A = this chain, B = another copy of it.
Protein backbone atom coordinates (compact mmCIF):
# COMPACT_ATOMS: atom_id res chain seq x y z
CA UNK A 1 0.00 0.00 0.00
CA UNK A 2 2.82 2.39 0.73
CA UNK A 3 4.96 1.64 -2.32
CA UNK A 4 6.41 4.56 -4.20
CA UNK A 5 7.77 5.33 -7.63
CA UNK A 6 11.53 4.94 -7.49
CA UNK A 7 12.60 5.30 -11.14
CA UNK A 8 11.56 6.61 -14.53
CA UNK A 9 14.02 4.96 -16.90
CA UNK A 10 14.11 6.28 -20.46
CA UNK A 11 15.47 4.58 -23.58
CA UNK A 12 16.11 5.96 -27.08
CA UNK A 13 15.06 2.96 -29.19
CA UNK A 14 15.32 3.10 -33.00
CA UNK A 15 14.66 0.47 -35.64
CA UNK A 16 16.49 0.93 -38.97
CA UNK A 17 13.32 0.56 -41.04
CA UNK A 18 14.45 3.08 -43.65
CA UNK A 19 16.92 0.50 -44.96
CA UNK A 20 13.95 -1.46 -46.39
CA UNK A 21 11.66 1.43 -47.45
CA UNK A 22 8.91 0.04 -45.25
CA UNK A 23 6.67 2.84 -44.14
CA UNK A 24 7.44 5.21 -47.01
CA UNK A 25 4.78 7.73 -47.96
CA UNK A 26 4.48 11.10 -49.66
CA UNK A 27 5.75 13.02 -46.64
CA UNK A 28 7.86 10.41 -44.88
CA UNK A 29 10.22 8.88 -47.41
CA UNK A 30 12.63 7.21 -45.00
CA UNK A 31 11.34 6.69 -41.47
CA UNK A 32 13.31 4.84 -38.83
CA UNK A 33 10.50 3.75 -36.54
CA UNK A 34 11.50 4.73 -33.03
CA UNK A 35 10.27 4.88 -29.50
CA UNK A 36 11.16 7.28 -26.75
CA UNK A 37 10.53 4.55 -24.26
CA UNK A 38 10.07 4.66 -20.52
CA UNK A 39 9.80 2.19 -17.70
CA UNK A 40 8.22 3.23 -14.42
CA UNK A 41 9.58 1.29 -11.50
CA UNK A 42 8.28 1.14 -7.94
CA UNK A 43 9.51 -0.37 -4.69
CA UNK A 44 6.49 -2.63 -4.47
CA UNK A 45 7.33 -6.29 -3.82
CA UNK A 46 5.11 -7.26 -6.77
CA UNK A 47 7.86 -6.04 -9.11
CA UNK A 48 5.30 -4.69 -11.59
CA UNK A 49 6.51 -2.00 -14.01
CA UNK A 50 4.61 0.49 -16.13
CA UNK A 51 5.80 0.68 -19.73
CA UNK A 52 5.00 3.42 -22.21
CA UNK A 53 6.49 5.27 -25.14
CA UNK A 54 6.16 8.07 -27.61
CA UNK A 55 6.45 6.96 -31.20
CA UNK A 56 8.71 8.95 -33.55
CA UNK A 57 10.30 8.19 -36.89
CA UNK A 58 13.96 8.65 -36.06
CA UNK A 59 15.83 11.91 -35.77
CA UNK A 60 14.70 13.85 -32.73
CA UNK A 61 13.89 10.76 -30.71
CA UNK A 62 16.49 12.02 -28.24
CA UNK A 63 14.51 15.28 -27.87
CA UNK A 64 11.39 13.24 -27.20
CA UNK A 65 13.28 11.27 -24.54
CA UNK A 66 14.49 14.50 -22.93
CA UNK A 67 10.87 15.64 -22.72
CA UNK A 68 9.92 12.46 -20.85
CA UNK A 69 12.88 13.04 -18.52
CA UNK A 70 11.44 16.47 -17.74
CA UNK A 71 8.36 14.80 -16.26
CA UNK A 72 10.31 12.59 -13.88
CA UNK A 73 9.82 14.90 -10.84
CA UNK A 74 6.07 14.35 -11.11
CA UNK A 75 6.45 10.70 -10.16
CA UNK A 76 9.60 10.06 -8.19
CA UNK A 77 8.81 9.50 -4.55
CA UNK A 78 5.03 9.66 -5.01
CA UNK A 79 2.81 6.93 -3.55
CA UNK A 80 1.85 4.55 -6.33
CA UNK A 81 -1.64 4.02 -5.01
CA UNK A 82 -2.39 7.75 -4.78
CA UNK A 83 -1.31 8.30 -8.35
CA UNK A 84 -3.08 5.29 -9.83
CA UNK A 85 -6.30 5.97 -7.92
CA UNK A 86 -6.62 9.42 -9.48
CA UNK A 87 -5.25 9.29 -13.01
CA UNK A 88 -7.61 12.14 -13.93
CA UNK A 89 -5.90 14.33 -11.38
CA UNK A 90 -2.45 13.16 -12.47
CA UNK A 91 -3.30 13.99 -16.09
CA UNK A 92 -4.30 17.52 -15.13
CA UNK A 93 -1.11 17.99 -13.10
CA UNK A 94 1.04 16.96 -16.05
CA UNK A 95 -0.83 18.85 -18.75
CA UNK A 96 -1.32 22.03 -16.77
CA UNK A 97 2.16 22.39 -15.29
CA UNK A 98 2.35 26.15 -15.57
CA UNK A 99 5.91 26.24 -16.91
CA UNK A 100 6.00 23.14 -19.13
CA UNK A 101 2.68 24.18 -20.66
CA UNK A 102 4.47 27.02 -22.43
CA UNK A 103 6.27 24.46 -24.60
CA UNK A 104 2.97 23.47 -26.25
CA UNK A 105 0.49 24.18 -24.97
CA UNK A 106 -0.93 20.66 -25.29
CA UNK A 107 0.88 19.79 -28.49
CA UNK A 108 4.07 18.45 -29.96
CA UNK A 109 7.01 16.96 -28.11
CA UNK A 110 5.84 17.88 -24.60
CA UNK A 111 2.33 16.52 -25.13
CA UNK A 112 3.65 13.28 -26.60
CA UNK A 113 5.90 12.93 -23.55
CA UNK A 114 2.85 13.21 -21.32
CA UNK A 115 1.22 10.56 -23.48
CA UNK A 116 4.09 8.18 -22.79
CA UNK A 117 3.91 8.76 -19.04
CA UNK A 118 0.12 8.55 -18.83
CA UNK A 119 0.04 5.35 -20.88
CA UNK A 120 2.76 3.81 -18.72
CA UNK A 121 0.69 4.60 -15.65
CA UNK A 122 -2.32 2.91 -17.22
CA UNK A 123 -0.16 -0.08 -18.10
CA UNK A 124 0.87 -0.37 -14.48
CA UNK A 125 -2.67 0.11 -13.23
CA UNK A 126 -3.98 -2.63 -15.53
CA UNK A 127 -1.18 -5.01 -14.60
CA UNK A 128 -1.93 -4.49 -10.90
CA UNK A 129 -5.61 -5.09 -11.60
CA UNK A 130 -4.73 -8.29 -13.48
CA UNK A 131 -6.71 -7.12 -16.51
CA UNK A 132 -5.96 -6.10 -20.07
CA UNK A 133 -6.45 -2.35 -20.27
CA UNK A 134 -9.57 -2.50 -22.43
CA UNK A 135 -11.31 -4.62 -19.85
CA UNK A 136 -10.14 -2.50 -16.95
CA UNK A 137 -11.53 0.62 -18.64
CA UNK A 138 -14.74 -1.12 -19.68
CA UNK A 139 -15.32 -2.20 -16.08
CA UNK A 140 -15.12 1.34 -14.68
CA UNK A 141 -18.35 3.12 -13.73
CA UNK A 142 -19.38 6.01 -15.99
CA UNK A 143 -18.72 8.55 -13.23
CA UNK A 144 -15.13 7.36 -12.88
CA UNK A 145 -14.57 7.52 -16.63
CA UNK A 146 -15.91 11.07 -16.80
CA UNK A 147 -13.57 12.03 -13.97
CA UNK A 148 -10.64 11.01 -16.17
CA UNK A 149 -11.52 13.61 -18.77
CA UNK A 150 -10.51 17.26 -18.71
CA UNK A 151 -13.44 19.10 -20.25
CA UNK A 152 -11.56 22.40 -20.51
CA UNK A 153 -12.16 23.86 -23.99
CA UNK A 154 -14.73 21.15 -24.77
CA UNK A 155 -17.91 22.34 -23.11
CA UNK A 156 -19.25 24.15 -26.16
CA UNK A 157 -19.42 20.70 -27.79
CA UNK A 158 -19.61 18.21 -24.94
CA UNK A 159 -20.40 18.69 -21.25
CA UNK A 160 -19.63 16.25 -18.44
CA UNK A 161 -23.35 15.52 -18.12
CA UNK A 162 -23.63 14.66 -21.79
CA UNK A 163 -20.60 12.41 -21.52
CA UNK A 164 -22.15 10.66 -18.54
CA UNK A 165 -25.39 10.12 -20.44
CA UNK A 166 -23.53 8.61 -23.39
CA UNK A 167 -21.66 6.19 -21.15
CA UNK A 168 -24.77 5.22 -19.19
CA UNK A 169 -26.68 4.55 -22.39
CA UNK A 170 -24.15 1.86 -23.26
CA UNK A 171 -24.86 -0.31 -20.23
CA UNK A 172 -27.28 -2.37 -22.29
CA UNK A 173 -25.63 -5.04 -24.36
CA UNK A 174 -22.28 -4.59 -22.73
CA UNK A 175 -21.73 -8.24 -21.82
CA UNK A 176 -22.65 -9.35 -25.35
CA UNK A 177 -20.10 -6.94 -26.78
CA UNK A 178 -17.37 -8.21 -24.45
CA UNK A 179 -18.26 -11.76 -25.41
CA UNK A 180 -18.16 -10.92 -29.09
CA UNK A 181 -14.71 -9.36 -28.75
CA UNK A 182 -13.41 -12.39 -26.89
CA UNK A 183 -14.88 -14.73 -29.51
CA UNK A 184 -14.23 -12.91 -32.78
CA UNK A 185 -12.00 -9.95 -32.11
CA UNK A 186 -12.27 -6.52 -33.73
CA UNK A 187 -11.93 -5.81 -37.47
CA UNK A 188 -8.56 -4.68 -38.75
CA UNK A 189 -7.39 -3.27 -42.04
CA UNK A 190 -3.94 -3.49 -43.49
CA UNK A 191 -1.66 -0.77 -44.80
CA UNK A 192 1.14 -3.19 -45.60
CA UNK A 193 0.46 -3.42 -49.38
CA UNK A 194 0.39 0.28 -50.07
CA UNK A 195 3.68 1.94 -49.20
CA UNK A 196 4.96 4.27 -51.92
CA UNK A 197 8.35 2.61 -52.00
CA UNK A 198 6.96 -0.71 -53.28
CA UNK A 199 6.85 -1.61 -56.98
CA UNK A 200 3.71 -2.74 -58.80
CA UNK A 201 4.45 -6.45 -58.52
CA UNK A 202 4.94 -6.23 -54.81
CA UNK A 203 1.74 -4.16 -54.52
CA UNK A 204 -0.21 -6.79 -56.47
CA UNK A 205 1.20 -9.65 -54.46
CA UNK A 206 0.54 -7.94 -51.13
CA UNK A 207 -3.03 -7.05 -52.15
CA UNK A 208 -3.69 -10.70 -52.95
CA UNK A 209 -2.20 -11.77 -49.65
CA UNK A 210 -4.25 -9.23 -47.71
CA UNK A 211 -7.50 -10.55 -49.15
CA UNK A 212 -6.38 -14.13 -48.62
CA UNK A 213 -5.57 -13.27 -45.02
CA UNK A 214 -9.16 -12.16 -44.45
CA UNK A 215 -8.85 -8.38 -44.50
CA UNK A 216 -11.90 -6.55 -45.84
CA UNK A 217 -10.08 -3.22 -46.08
CA UNK A 218 -6.64 -2.17 -47.27
CA UNK A 219 -4.98 1.24 -47.54
CA UNK A 220 -2.72 2.77 -50.18
CA UNK A 221 -0.43 5.72 -49.78
CA UNK A 222 -0.98 8.43 -52.40
CA UNK A 223 0.14 11.97 -53.11
CA UNK A 224 3.54 11.47 -54.71
CA UNK A 225 2.60 11.44 -58.39
CA UNK A 226 -0.96 11.38 -59.74
CA UNK A 227 -0.29 9.05 -62.67
CA UNK A 228 1.40 6.58 -60.36
CA UNK A 229 -1.49 6.79 -57.93
CA UNK A 230 -4.05 6.10 -60.63
CA UNK A 231 -2.03 3.12 -61.84
CA UNK A 232 -1.52 1.73 -58.34
CA UNK A 233 -5.13 2.22 -57.33
CA UNK A 234 -6.28 0.48 -60.52
CA UNK A 235 -3.97 -2.46 -59.76
CA UNK A 236 -5.29 -2.65 -56.21
CA UNK A 237 -8.92 -2.44 -57.27
CA UNK A 238 -8.46 -5.07 -59.98
CA UNK A 239 -6.61 -7.37 -57.62
CA UNK A 240 -8.94 -7.01 -54.65
CA UNK A 241 -12.26 -6.81 -56.50
CA UNK A 242 -15.14 -4.43 -55.85
CA UNK A 243 -16.04 -5.63 -52.34
CA UNK A 244 -12.81 -4.84 -50.55
CA UNK A 245 -12.65 -1.34 -49.15
CA UNK A 246 -9.62 0.58 -50.37
CA UNK A 247 -8.71 3.66 -48.36
CA UNK A 248 -6.09 6.13 -49.59
CA UNK A 249 -3.76 8.20 -47.47
CA UNK A 250 -2.07 11.43 -48.60
CA UNK A 251 -0.15 12.13 -45.40
CA UNK A 252 -0.86 15.90 -45.50
CA UNK A 253 0.47 16.34 -48.99
CA UNK A 254 -1.98 18.89 -50.44
CA UNK A 255 -3.47 22.36 -50.21
CA UNK A 256 -7.24 22.57 -50.54
CA UNK A 257 -7.63 22.92 -54.32
CA UNK A 258 -5.00 20.33 -55.26
CA UNK A 259 -6.59 17.91 -52.78
CA UNK A 260 -9.95 18.24 -54.45
CA UNK A 261 -8.48 17.81 -57.93
CA UNK A 262 -6.38 14.79 -56.99
CA UNK A 263 -9.15 13.02 -55.12
CA UNK A 264 -11.58 13.68 -57.94
CA UNK A 265 -9.17 11.88 -60.26
CA UNK A 266 -9.03 8.89 -57.89
CA UNK A 267 -12.78 8.78 -57.20
CA UNK A 268 -13.59 6.30 -60.03
CA UNK A 269 -11.73 3.64 -58.03
CA UNK A 270 -14.16 4.06 -55.15
CA UNK A 271 -11.83 5.02 -52.30
CA UNK A 272 -13.40 4.20 -48.92
CA UNK A 273 -11.84 7.27 -47.35
CA UNK A 274 -9.16 9.87 -48.08
CA UNK A 275 -6.85 10.23 -45.15
CA UNK A 276 -4.92 13.37 -44.16
CA UNK A 277 -5.56 15.30 -47.38
CA UNK A 278 -3.98 18.45 -45.89
CA UNK A 279 -2.41 19.92 -42.75
CA UNK A 280 -3.73 18.35 -39.55
CA UNK A 281 -3.98 21.89 -38.20
CA UNK A 282 -6.36 23.05 -40.91
CA UNK A 283 -9.86 22.27 -39.70
CA UNK A 284 -11.39 24.70 -42.20
CA UNK A 285 -9.32 23.15 -44.99
CA UNK A 286 -10.54 19.66 -44.06
CA UNK A 287 -14.12 20.93 -43.97
CA UNK A 288 -13.80 22.53 -47.41
CA UNK A 289 -12.27 19.39 -48.89
CA UNK A 290 -14.92 17.15 -47.30
CA UNK A 291 -17.71 19.29 -48.73
CA UNK A 292 -16.21 19.33 -52.21
CA UNK A 293 -15.25 15.65 -52.56
CA UNK A 294 -18.46 14.14 -51.15
CA UNK A 295 -19.52 11.34 -51.34
CA UNK A 296 -15.86 10.40 -50.91
CA UNK A 297 -15.19 10.78 -47.20
CA UNK A 298 -12.35 12.29 -45.19
CA UNK A 299 -10.46 10.64 -42.34
CA UNK A 300 -7.82 12.22 -40.15
CA UNK A 301 -6.29 12.18 -36.71
CA UNK A 302 -2.87 10.58 -36.41
CA UNK A 303 -1.26 14.02 -36.30
CA UNK A 304 -4.12 15.89 -34.67
CA UNK A 305 -2.50 17.38 -31.64
CA UNK A 306 -5.25 17.28 -29.03
CA UNK A 307 -8.96 17.05 -28.19
CA UNK A 308 -9.54 20.74 -29.05
CA UNK A 309 -8.72 20.18 -32.72
CA UNK A 310 -10.75 16.95 -32.86
CA UNK A 311 -13.65 18.90 -31.38
CA UNK A 312 -13.52 21.41 -34.22
CA UNK A 313 -13.19 18.77 -36.95
CA UNK A 314 -16.37 17.22 -35.58
CA UNK A 315 -18.18 20.54 -35.16
CA UNK A 316 -17.52 21.31 -38.84
CA UNK A 317 -18.48 17.85 -40.19
CA UNK A 318 -14.95 17.82 -41.59
CA UNK A 319 -14.24 14.15 -40.93
CA UNK A 320 -16.25 10.96 -41.38
CA UNK A 321 -13.73 8.85 -39.47
CA UNK A 322 -11.82 9.86 -36.35
CA UNK A 323 -8.34 8.33 -36.34
CA UNK A 324 -7.13 8.45 -32.80
CA UNK A 325 -3.47 7.82 -32.13
CA UNK A 326 -2.46 6.22 -28.84
CA UNK A 327 0.66 8.27 -28.27
CA UNK A 328 0.25 11.74 -29.81
CA UNK A 329 -2.49 13.24 -27.68
CA UNK A 330 -1.92 12.94 -23.94
CA UNK A 331 -2.58 9.24 -23.60
CA UNK A 332 -5.58 7.19 -22.51
CA UNK A 333 -7.41 10.02 -20.77
CA UNK A 334 -7.40 12.37 -23.73
CA UNK A 335 -8.38 9.55 -26.07
CA UNK A 336 -11.40 8.88 -23.87
CA UNK A 337 -12.34 12.53 -24.34
CA UNK A 338 -11.97 12.16 -28.11
CA UNK A 339 -13.98 8.92 -28.20
CA UNK A 340 -16.74 10.66 -26.26
CA UNK A 341 -16.71 13.57 -28.70
CA UNK A 342 -16.89 11.15 -31.64
CA UNK A 343 -19.80 9.34 -29.99
CA UNK A 344 -21.59 12.63 -29.41
CA UNK A 345 -21.26 13.51 -33.10
CA UNK A 346 -21.95 9.95 -34.30
CA UNK A 347 -18.63 9.56 -36.10
CA UNK A 348 -16.82 6.19 -36.00
CA UNK A 349 -13.39 5.94 -34.37
CA UNK A 350 -10.89 4.05 -36.55
CA UNK A 351 -7.51 4.19 -34.83
CA UNK A 352 -4.25 4.96 -36.53
CA UNK A 353 -1.62 2.32 -35.91
CA UNK A 354 1.57 0.86 -37.36
CA UNK A 355 4.96 2.31 -36.55
CA UNK A 356 6.26 0.46 -33.54
CA UNK A 357 3.88 -0.60 -30.82
CA UNK A 358 0.94 1.51 -31.94
CA UNK A 359 -1.12 -1.54 -32.95
CA UNK A 360 -0.47 -3.01 -29.52
CA UNK A 361 -1.82 0.12 -27.84
CA UNK A 362 -4.81 1.16 -29.93
CA UNK A 363 -6.49 -2.23 -29.93
CA UNK A 364 -7.27 -1.60 -26.25
CA UNK A 365 -8.77 1.79 -27.00
CA UNK A 366 -10.91 0.56 -29.90
CA UNK A 367 -12.23 -2.36 -27.88
CA UNK A 368 -13.05 -0.12 -24.94
CA UNK A 369 -14.81 2.23 -27.36
CA UNK A 370 -16.93 -0.63 -28.64
CA UNK A 371 -17.89 -1.94 -25.22
CA UNK A 372 -18.47 1.31 -23.37
CA UNK A 373 -18.51 4.44 -25.55
CA UNK A 374 -19.82 3.97 -29.09
CA UNK A 375 -21.42 0.57 -28.53
CA UNK A 376 -20.97 -0.16 -32.22
CA UNK A 377 -18.52 -1.90 -34.49
CA UNK A 378 -20.14 -0.74 -37.74
CA UNK A 379 -17.68 0.90 -40.16
CA UNK A 380 -15.02 0.66 -37.49
CA UNK A 381 -11.60 -0.82 -38.14
CA UNK A 382 -8.18 -0.68 -36.53
CA UNK A 383 -5.21 -0.08 -38.80
CA UNK A 384 -2.78 -2.97 -38.96
CA UNK A 385 0.78 -2.98 -40.21
CA UNK A 386 2.86 -6.10 -39.97
CA UNK A 387 6.01 -4.52 -38.52
CA UNK A 388 8.05 -4.96 -35.40
CA UNK A 389 5.49 -6.81 -33.28
CA UNK A 390 8.13 -9.34 -32.34
CA UNK A 391 9.71 -6.78 -30.03
CA UNK A 392 6.78 -6.86 -27.61
CA UNK A 393 6.07 -9.40 -24.90
CA UNK A 394 2.34 -9.38 -25.69
CA UNK A 395 2.17 -8.73 -29.44
CA UNK A 396 -1.08 -8.25 -31.32
CA UNK A 397 -2.68 -11.38 -32.72
CA UNK A 398 -4.52 -11.17 -36.03
CA UNK A 399 -6.89 -13.87 -37.24
CA UNK A 400 -8.97 -13.63 -40.43
CA UNK A 401 -8.34 -9.90 -40.58
CA UNK A 402 -9.46 -9.35 -36.98
CA UNK A 403 -7.50 -8.20 -33.97
CA UNK A 404 -8.00 -10.84 -31.29
CA UNK A 405 -8.79 -9.33 -27.91
CA UNK A 406 -5.69 -9.11 -25.74
CA UNK A 407 -6.01 -11.04 -22.50
CA UNK A 408 -2.71 -10.43 -20.71
CA UNK A 409 -2.81 -7.83 -17.94
CA UNK A 410 -1.62 -4.36 -18.98
CA UNK A 411 -1.56 -2.16 -22.08
CA UNK A 412 0.49 -4.57 -24.29
CA UNK A 413 3.15 -1.86 -24.23
CA UNK A 414 6.03 -3.87 -22.78
CA UNK A 415 8.98 -4.22 -25.11
CA UNK A 416 11.28 -7.20 -24.75
CA UNK A 417 14.42 -6.51 -22.75
CA UNK A 418 16.63 -7.76 -25.59
CA UNK A 419 15.06 -5.25 -27.99
CA UNK A 420 15.69 -2.40 -25.54
CA UNK A 421 19.33 -3.41 -25.56
CA UNK A 422 19.85 -4.21 -29.23
CA UNK A 423 18.10 -1.21 -30.75
CA UNK A 424 19.31 1.40 -28.28
CA UNK A 425 20.53 4.47 -30.18
CA UNK A 426 23.34 5.15 -30.88
CA UNK A 427 25.16 2.55 -28.79
CA UNK A 428 23.13 -0.64 -29.23
CA UNK A 429 24.61 -3.36 -31.47
CA UNK A 430 22.25 -2.65 -34.38
CA UNK A 431 23.44 0.94 -34.65
CA UNK A 432 26.96 0.65 -33.34
CA UNK A 433 27.81 -1.96 -35.97
CA UNK A 434 26.06 -0.23 -38.87
CA UNK A 435 28.31 0.91 -41.69
CA UNK A 436 28.19 4.70 -41.47
Contact = CB atoms under 8 A, between A and B. Distances in A.
A97 B59 CA distance: 9
Contacts of A102: 28, 31, 56-57, 60
Contacts of A402: none
Q: Chain A, interface size: which category?
A: 35 or more
Contact of A312 (B67, B100, B284): B284
Given A66-B66, A110-B108, A255-B155, A57 B99 contact: yes
Contacts of A252: 105
A104 interface: yes
Interface stretch (A3-11, A137-145, A300-308, A392-400): A300-308
By secondary structure, the A interface counts as loop
Contacts of A101: 27-28
User: By CB atoms of chain B within 10 A, which of A60, A99, A102, A255 has the most?
Assistant: A102
Contacts of A32: 99
A227 B217 CA distance: 58
Contacts of A64: 103
A107 B285 CA distance: 18
Interface in A151-176: 152-156
Interface in A38-78: 56-60, 62-64, 66-67, 69-70
Nearest to A67: B63
A278 interface: yes
Interface in A253-312: 255-257, 278-285, 288, 303, 305-306, 308-309, 311-312
A129 interface: no
Interface string A227-262: 000000000000000000000000010011100000
Given A108-B109, A281-B305, 7 more contacts: A27-B101, A60-B102, A63-B69, A63-B109, A105-B252, A156-B255, A281-B309
A366 to B, nearest CB: 22
A2 interface: no
Contacts of A257: 155-156
Contact of A30 (B98, B278, B285, B309): B98
User: By CB atoms of chain B within 10 A, which of A30, A64, A155 has the most?
Assistant: A64
Contacts of A29: 98
A102 B354 CA distance: 14
A316 interface: yes
B99 A60 contact: yes
B153 A282 contact: yes
9 contacts: A57-B102, A59-B70, A60-B100, A63-B63, A108-B108, A109-B110, A153-B255, A279-B308, A281-B308
Contacts of A22: none
Contacts of A57: 98-99, 102
User: By CB atoms of chain B within 10 A, which of A63, A67, A284 has the most?
Assistant: A63
A106 interface: yes
A87 B103 CA distance: 25
